[in-house]
Structure 1
Amino acid sequence: MADIVDTAVSAGSFTSLVAAVQAAGLVDTLKGPGPFTVFAPTDDAFAKLPAGTVEALFNDIPQLTKILTYHVVSGKVMAADVVKLTSAKTVEGSEVKIDASNGVKINDATVTAADVVADNGVIHVIDSVLLPA
């Protein structure tokens, strides 16, 4: 198996996320032993952000890092475990809200694919970028 970064690269639908992880200097961390649970926004999710947002974040690495680490939870949390939770503490330090009453939502993002397993964790694909408060 591949690590989280290589899994995201090979999927082909996370080029914005991978570029952001590279820009923020988080590649080595996400290639580390983990395990990590990553709520991974697709390229379409990044495209839904207001015009100029992504470019602005690439010019503000501390803010970019904060947003990216808000998508990561320590440990390997599979979908069967996620649906039992109402929130999860992120690596960024604050919590995301989890609602499994009708599909699975992380804050306002819908999980579109779950349990993409990597050798150092798991990826759950989401349709929106999560923004910390």
Structure 2
Amino acid sequence: MLSASMFGASAVYAQDNPEVGGAAMDPAMNIVENAANSADHTTLVAAVQAAGLVETLSGEGPFTVLAPTNAAFDALPAGTVDTLLMEENKDQLTEILTCHVIPARALSTDIVSMVEEDGGEHMVETVGGCMLTLAVDGDTVTVTDENGTTANVTIADVIQSNGVIHVIDAVLTPAS
């Protein structure tokens, strides 16, 4: 879990970039390039490809991507991922994926500061127009979507050339 005590470091250096899905994350590579190397994010990468978002998330940014793991996608009702990956559901898939992208570079220290300044919760709008609630619960940073689904940040501050990735343990969705 992401520890609030880990937020004290003001800089994350290349040698300190955490491994994700058994792969080193190169801070000189972009979000899509690094995610493609993670064994824990094959579903996310397939979804980004199916939604046509590779070029966008490979772009200049900066982006903060809340990256659900394969296990997070597996926890959805049976058949959900296969249905979303169908061409006719591309718009819905794009809407869900863009709910995981914040149009700024927000390190864990930034998130904790915003939460503290706002008295315990900070609202943020995503590229997809979703409103997410950021909070700190004990030693864990949490992200809650408009439907009440809460994801925990399990790996923070994975530095990318065009932003940062925070690995999460649930899939966030737009208001239903």
TM-score, structure 2 normalization: 0.74
Give the Å deviation of 1:11: 2.1
Matches within 5 A, 1:51-130: 51-59=78-86, 60-83=89-112, 84-85=114-115, 86-102=122-138, 103-107=140-144, 108-130=150-172
Q: Which amino acid aligns with 2:159?
A: V
Q: Distance in 2 between matches of 1:4 and 1:127?
A: 18
Q: What per-residue deviation string (whole Å, max 9, x for no partner) do you get for residues 81-121 of structure 1?
A: 11223121100012111111321111100000000000000
Q: Give the root-mean-square deviation of aligned CA atoms.
A: 0.8
Paired residue secondary structure (1:132): coil
How does 1:8-87 map onto structure 2 within 5 Å? 8-59=35-86, 60-83=89-112, 84-85=114-115, 86-87=122-123
Deviations 1:12-33 (A, max 9, x none): 2100000000000000000000
Unaligned stretches of 5+ in structure 1? none
- Runs of 4+ in structure 1 displaced over 2 angstroms? none
Distance between the aligned counterparts of 2:108 and 2:125, measured in 1?
16
Q: In the aligned structure 2, how far is the partner of 1:63 from the partner of 1:27?
A: 16
- Report which of the two structures shows the higher radius of gyration computed on alpha carbons: 2
How far apart are the structure 2 equivalents of 1:65 and 1:91?
Answer: 10
Aligned-pair identity (%):
50
Instruction: Name the TM-score, length of structure 1 as normaliser.
Output: 0.97
Deviations 1:20-48 (A, max 9, x none): 00000000000000010000000011010
